[in-house]
Structure 1
Amino acid sequence: MQRTQTDGVPVFSILEGDGLLAGVALRFGCGTRDETFRTMGVTHLVEALVMDRLAAVDQADFGSFFGLDETRFHGYGTLDEATRFLEAVCRTLSDLPLDRLEHVAGRLDIEQAAPVDEQISQVLGARYGAHGLGLACHHGTGYRELTPEMVRTHAATYFTRANAALMVTGPVPPGLRLPLPDGARPSRGTPRVLAGHAWARRDLTGVALAYEVPVGSAAARIGHQILITRVERLVRDRLGIASAVEAFLTARDAGSVERMLLLDAEEGREDAVAAALWGEAVRLAREAPTAEEVEEEEVAWCRKGFVRQPSVPAELQAASDSELYGVPYLDGPTMVRALEAITPADVREAVERAVAGALLVVPHGTPPSLTGLDGKRLEHTRVCERWDVPPPRGEVHGRPLRARLRRGGGGGDAERIVRTPRSLVWCQDDWYHEYRFDEVVELERWGDARRAVARCGCLLELVPGDFQGMDRLIRALDDAVPPARTRERAEPPNRT
């Protein structure tokens, strides 16, 4: 692999083929996780504006995509075709066709593309809430709500030469220029998890386990593979359940990554699959794997992937990841040496650290009864709902008689909102959800009604007449949430 530079953009290339064709991918370290709740969708909108301008260019084998942490313009063709495509992308990013904003935004509102699979997004939402990686679980207010200024600001921050890297498989086109805008390397914070060593419910068709591990940790990599193997065997051989296992990996910051295991579960068997997944994770955290598991299964598997069947795209990806995100770059031989030095005790310790902050996510209606590392019952995240404990004290606003009759009774008397100096607390029966003012990521004002979006991603809607003293509840929310997190709307948006 060679590393060069074109117009300040690092270029990583591996020479393959006959020298007449090249595969290119211009990457930007920017994705959904780099947006805010208010600007959700702006990365995809920038990408779509570029491709809309390039529609007049012959680009049958060239395209683009956006994800959680990157946006990519890529393709395969002759050196002249690759040059024209890359230079057109760069020129368009320097002068976005904002006159096409309404048209492109309308099309994207219809398409409703997502950066990751719906199941993965649900887990990320449970893990991070309505910010960072958790934004994958939300749709925002719509692309047409994004203003030209939002688009310009986002592009000027993230779509610059300082936040770009080019990968080339084949010869680097001679005379290639990459006239991207100047800019500074954007800073990327670490998203804060809502809870760890707990379980949560979401709209899943299976169960999932999400946890954080250090970047480049050979012990964590082996532990992850051992856990996959054990769970597959347990679910298939002992429980007789056909359950596919899917693994997912994404960067959290320069020092850590988020790993995820997702298992399909037949309806009615979700609790058994959840118990198998969590139980094997805890067992591996308490008891070291056998030397045979580490040596014969996992190290051999990793050596095959890194040495005997090296992947050119993976090598270019790893090198450009290091450039874009500051993560360490480990080539194949280096990783194999690290893997060969790992002991079963190393694996157990890595898994224990991961499980100590892990989140188990199960479908609605699944009541897991599991044991944590400390031998005590594994608790619900307690981020959103709290059970069997009294809510904070404050002014109680119950439903008026008319609202209770409209809802047909059935527990309406138990619904109430408690107003405290720091929050509004929605209460019903034996549970409550506290919406703290300082954790409202967005307050939407549509006429006399309000919608508050909490950091956990939950919504609190305040509609006049639904509760007694609603004017005092709305005034408390308006006074506590700063204007920077407030949006005026003509009507309530459709949002999940």
Structure 2
Amino acid sequence: MIQHLETDGVPTLLAPTGGPMRAGLTFRVGTADETLARHGITHLLEHLVLAPLGTADYHFNGATGPVFTTFHMQGSAADIATFLTSVCANLTDLPTGRLEVEKDILRTEWSSRGGAAIDDIPLWRHGARDHGLSSYPEWGLSGLTAEELRRWAARWFTRENAVLWIAGDRVPEGLRLNLPTGVRQPVPTASSALPTTPAYFVHGSRAVVLDAVVRRRAAATVYAEVLERELFRALRQDAGLSYTINTGYEPRGDGHAHLRALADALAEKQDAVVGGFIDVLAKLRFGRIEQSDLDAAVAKRVDMYATAEFDAARLPAYAFNLLTGEPNHTIDEHLAELKTVTVTDLREVAQEAYASALLMVPDGTSADWAGFTAAPTSSESTVSGTTYHSRDGNSRLLVGTEGVSHLGTGGTVTVAYADCAAMLAWPDGARQLIGHDAIVLHIEPTLFDTHPATMQVIDSGVPVDRQIRMPPRDPEHIPQPRAVRETRQHPGQPKRPAWETLLMVLSGLATLVVGGFTLLLTIGMFISPTAEEDVAVLWGAVVIGWLLTVILALPIVLLTRGRRR
């Protein structure tokens, strides 16, 4: 049974365990509370707090999720007291001496992490804000200052916004949670970048992924298990199309949860996996659910609740509920609710999941045939402003006082300054505007007939706190018009205009004809006897011939030397 206590004004949860003592201090703050322009501030603060403790002998760590941040460790009671006391001390007096070092560590962490199939799901559903930020790099790190971090800590890392949980028999002696006073922070409202659902988007991953938003309840957890069983049976056992099949259920603290399912596919089997996956969703939505599958799913969860360590294992989730205002139930209450779940309840969850579904499908496939709408990749509106044509003539850029639009073969992309989540700015003049709807507009001045004042209009339109300064790029990585690219690919051999080529050809032919005739005449003067009265005339012809040859060859010489310069 979980006990409710209090430690230095912080709500405390205590549950018995048969193993080593472990504890965590959880705060109601995460990436969903940030903005894209300052994305990474919570993660950076977590690293700074733990950095001075790096030489400790006990095991500890931190974790930053969408709506919570936890500092946790496993060890003796004395070690736990020392660790958590130090965490609180560092939160109130933030050790910023390693600020730049920890920024570099976080950049390295992001660059070396492997991409998962579901990483892009949040931005497609939520856009470039709140719950969608977990899909984006931590671009905000470079501009964060020590003062910003202190303000962030003072707002979010307070005793009213924290819960302490301990798997053990007591609160460790000597533990002090000296945190500032604050308020309990509500969970941010989840935004949506989808005009309608069910929707789908195409991704390069060889997997089909479902993301659905359902009400948080026991029937939804059981449905996740039944869905996995059905997908496994249909796609792996019966059709042999997939190897990895799994589902997940993740509460987000606002009375709803994300329900996800994944099935991988070979390149040549992707269409079949998409079709089989959607068929399973339809089967469950129409209520074709076996009672045996329901019973097996319930039994699996009942067994989990029956373990002696269950109360200790669910302490982090219990603390999450306490912080977000979600109800916490006893084990008996959980079991009673599970045993009331019926096939009708699962059908209701299946319909709810379908209505909110976002489906990720592999390249070359689609789901519109099954009633899914393609998630938007372009904008419906354009701004009024000055038009700039691309140097290749294939697109236009509209720069106005309200925003920027790009009109090209792929459609229209518009980002209004008021709806710009962040703007990446490079020293060479390139700009990338990211809208709250996750629409991205990239501007390369080298590819358009713009002038410096154009970028000044854009820079003055986007609020300063949403602008992110990027490091200089390698000149070779800056896009160039086609003619410049060809010059770089063939240094010293630039492409000639057509008139130069024609003139050189004509000059060469004329030089060859006149020069050849003059050469034959010169040789003849030396080997054939010539009347004395004709000698002067013939030598005059030879001199004129050679002069004319030189004149005719001049265009070739001058044009060649000019191109070399």
> 1:390-421 deviations in whole A, cap 9, x for unaligned?
97586684644xx32xxxxxxxx433335678
Aligned-partner residue type, residue 467 of structure 2? T
Q: Note the C-alpha offset of 1:234.
A: 0.7
Structural mapping, 1:238-249, within 5 Å: 238-249=238-249
Partners of 1:7 and 1:178 within 8 A in 2: yes
Q: What's the counterpart of residue 280 of structure 2?
A: 280
Q: Note the C-alpha offset of 1:352.
A: 0.7
Aligned-partner residue type, residue 164 of structure 1? A
State the alpha-carbon separation in 2 of the partners of residues 28 and 332 from structure 1: 25
> Which has the larger displacement, 68-77 or 422-431?
422-431
* 1:190 counterpart SS class: coil
Q: What's the counterpart of residue 301 of structure 1?
A: 300
State the alpha-carbon separation in 2 of the partners of residues 368 and 254 from structure 1: 30
Partners of 1:29 and 1:325 within 8 A in 2: yes
Q: Note the C-alpha offset of 1:279.
A: 2.5
State the alpha-carbon separation in 2 of the partners of residues 288 and 421 from structure 1: 56
Partners of 2:413 and 2:441 within 8 A in 1: no
State the alpha-carbon separation in 1 of the partners of residues 111 and 426 from structure 2: 27
Aligned-partner residue type, residue 78 of structure 2? D
Structural mapping, 1:344-359, within 5 Å: 344-359=343-358
Higher share of residues assigned helix: 2
Q: What's the counterpart of residue 518 of structure 2?
A: none
Q: What's the counterpart of residue 466 of structure 1?
A: 447
Q: What's the counterpart of residue 271 of structure 1?
A: 271
Aligned-partner residue type, residue 452 of structure 1? L
Q: Note the C-alpha offset of 1:211.
A: 0.8
- The CA RMSD measured in Å over matched residues stands at 2.9
Decide whether aligned partners of structure 1 residues 113 and 9 sit closer, same or farther in structure 2, where only a CA change above 3 A counts: farther
Q: What's the counterpart of residue 46 of structure 2?
A: 47
Aligned-partner residue type, residue 252 of structure 1? R
Aligned-partner residue type, residue 385 of structure 1? S
Which of the pair has more CA radius of gyration?
Answer: 2
Q: What's the counterpart of residue 486 of structure 1?
A: 467
* 2:374 counterpart SS class: coil
Q: What's the counterpart of residue 560 of structure 2?
A: none
Partners of 2:125 and 2:358 within 8 A in 1: yes
Decide whether aligned partners of structure 1 residues 326 and 470 sit closer, same or farther in structure 2, where only a CA change above 3 A counts: farther
Q: What's the counterpart of residue 409 of structure 1?
A: none
> 1:187-222 deviations in whole A, cap 9, x for unaligned?
32222121231101234231110011112x122222
State the alpha-carbon separation in 2 of the partners of residues 489 and 308 from structure 1: 52
State the alpha-carbon separation in 2 of the partners of residues 40 and 286 from structure 1: 42
* 1:119 counterpart SS class: coil
Q: What's the counterpart of residue 375 of structure 1?
A: none
> Which has the larger displacement, 434-443 or 89-98?
434-443
Structural mapping, 1:210-289, within 5 Å: 210-215=211-216, 217-289=217-289
Q: What's the counterpart of residue 488 of structure 2?
A: none
Decide whether aligned partners of structure 1 residues 243 and 439 sit closer, same or farther in structure 2, where only a CA change above 3 A counts: farther
* 2:373 alignment partner, one of 366, 369, 379: 379
Decide whether aligned partners of structure 1 residues 475 and 62 sit closer, same or farther in structure 2, where only a CA change above 3 A counts: closer
> 1:464-483 deviations in whole A, cap 9, x for unaligned?
24234566864664454334
State the alpha-carbon separation in 2 of the partners of residues 421 and 284 from structure 1: 51
Decide whether aligned partners of structure 1 residues 157 and 391 sit closer, same or farther in structure 2, where only a CA change above 3 A counts: closer
Partners of 2:242 and 2:273 within 8 A in 1: no
Q: What's the counterpart of residue 63 of structure 1?
A: 61
State the alpha-carbon separation in 1 of the partners of residues 141 and 465 from structure 2: 19
Partners of 2:32 and 2:188 within 8 A in 1: no
Decide whether aligned partners of structure 1 residues 95 and 273 sit closer, same or farther in structure 2, where only a CA change above 3 A counts: same
Q: Note the C-alpha offset of 1:6.
A: 0.2
* 2:293 counterpart SS class: helix
> 1:44-86 deviations in whole A, cap 9, x for unaligned?
1111111111125x33322323333322222222221111111
Decide whether aligned partners of structure 1 residues 332 and 266 sit closer, same or farther in structure 2, where only a CA change above 3 A counts: farther
Decide whether aligned partners of structure 1 residues 308 and 393 sit closer, same or farther in structure 2, where only a CA change above 3 A counts: closer
Q: Note the C-alpha offset of 1:490.
A: 6.4
Q: Note the C-alpha offset of 1:143.
A: 2.8
Identify unmatched segments of 5+ residues in structure 2: 478-565
Aligned-partner residue type, residue 151 of structure 1? L
Structural mapping, 1:440-479, within 5 Å: 440-446=420-426, 448-468=429-449, 474=455, 477-478=458-459
Aligned pairs, how many? 470
Decide whether aligned partners of structure 1 residues 370 and 59 sit closer, same or farther in structure 2, where only a CA change above 3 A counts: farther
Partners of 2:431 and 2:442 within 8 A in 1: yes
* 1:167 alignment partner, one of 157, 165, 168: 165
| Residue 154 (str. 1) matches residue 152 (str. 2) | yes
Decide whether aligned partners of structure 1 residues 40 and 396 sit closer, same or farther in structure 2, where only a CA change above 3 A counts: same
Q: Note the C-alpha offset of 1:237.
A: 2.8
Q: What's the counterpart of residue 395 of structure 2?
A: 415
> 1:3-61 deviations in whole A, cap 9, x for unaligned?
1000011111112349xx521122222222222111111111111111111125x3332
> Which has the larger displacement, 74-83 or 247-256?
247-256
Q: What's the counterpart of residue 408 of structure 1?
A: none
* 1:201 counterpart SS class: strand
Partners of 1:202 and 1:363 within 8 A in 2: yes
Partners of 2:41 and 2:140 within 8 A in 1: no
Q: TM-score under structure 1 normalisation? A: 0.85
Aligned-partner residue type, residue 154 of structure 1? W
Aligned-partner residue type, residue 486 of structure 1? Q
Q: What's the counterpart of residue 407 of structure 1?
A: none
Identify unmatched segments of 5+ residues in structure 1: 373-377, 405-412
Partners of 2:16 and 2:311 within 8 A in 1: no
Partners of 1:114 and 1:136 within 8 A in 2: no
| Residue 425 (str. 1) matches residue 405 (str. 2) | yes
Q: What's the counterpart of residue 129 of structure 2?
A: 131
State the alpha-carbon separation in 1 of the partners of residues 299 and 12 from structure 2: 32
Q: Note the C-alpha offset of 1:367.
A: 3.2
Q: Note the C-alpha offset of 1:351.
A: 1.6
State the alpha-carbon separation in 2 of the partners of residues 100 and 183 from structure 1: 27
Decide whether aligned partners of structure 1 residues 344 and 249 sit closer, same or farther in structure 2, where only a CA change above 3 A counts: closer
Q: What's the counterpart of residue 323 of structure 2?
A: 324
Decide whether aligned partners of structure 1 residues 489 and 371 sit closer, same or farther in structure 2, where only a CA change above 3 A counts: closer
| Residue 200 (str. 1) matches residue 201 (str. 2) | yes
Q: Note the C-alpha offset of 1:311.
A: 1.9
Aligned-partner residue type, residue 467 of structure 1? F
* 2:252 counterpart SS class: strand
Partners of 2:422 and 2:435 within 8 A in 1: yes
* 1:329 counterpart SS class: coil
> 1:153-203 deviations in whole A, cap 9, x for unaligned?
221122221221122111221342211222211232222121231101234
State the alpha-carbon separation in 2 of the partners of residues 440 and 153 from structure 1: 24
Partners of 1:12 and 1:166 within 8 A in 2: yes
Partners of 1:200 and 1:380 within 8 A in 2: yes
State the alpha-carbon separation in 2 of the partners of residues 483 and 347 from structure 1: 49
Q: Note the C-alpha offset of 1:242.
A: 3.2
Decide whether aligned partners of structure 1 residues 189 and 284 sit closer, same or farther in structure 2, where only a CA change above 3 A counts: same
Q: Note the C-alpha offset of 1:422.
A: 5.5
Q: Note the C-alpha offset of 1:256.
A: 1.0
Decide whether aligned partners of structure 1 residues 301 and 116 sit closer, same or farther in structure 2, where only a CA change above 3 A counts: farther
Partners of 1:66 and 1:115 within 8 A in 2: no
Decide whether aligned partners of structure 1 residues 282 and 433 sit closer, same or farther in structure 2, where only a CA change above 3 A counts: farther
| Residue 209 (str. 1) matches residue 203 (str. 2) | no
Decide whether aligned partners of structure 1 residues 232 and 436 sit closer, same or farther in structure 2, where only a CA change above 3 A counts: farther
Decide whether aligned partners of structure 1 residues 59 and 27 sit closer, same or farther in structure 2, where only a CA change above 3 A counts: farther
> Which has the larger displacement, 279-288 or 190-199?
279-288
Partners of 2:103 and 2:141 within 8 A in 1: yes
Partners of 2:91 and 2:157 within 8 A in 1: yes
Decide whether aligned partners of structure 1 residues 238 and 309 sit closer, same or farther in structure 2, where only a CA change above 3 A counts: farther
Decide whether aligned partners of structure 1 residues 132 and 115 sit closer, same or farther in structure 2, where only a CA change above 3 A counts: farther
State the alpha-carbon separation in 2 of the partners of residues 153 and 277 from structure 1: 47
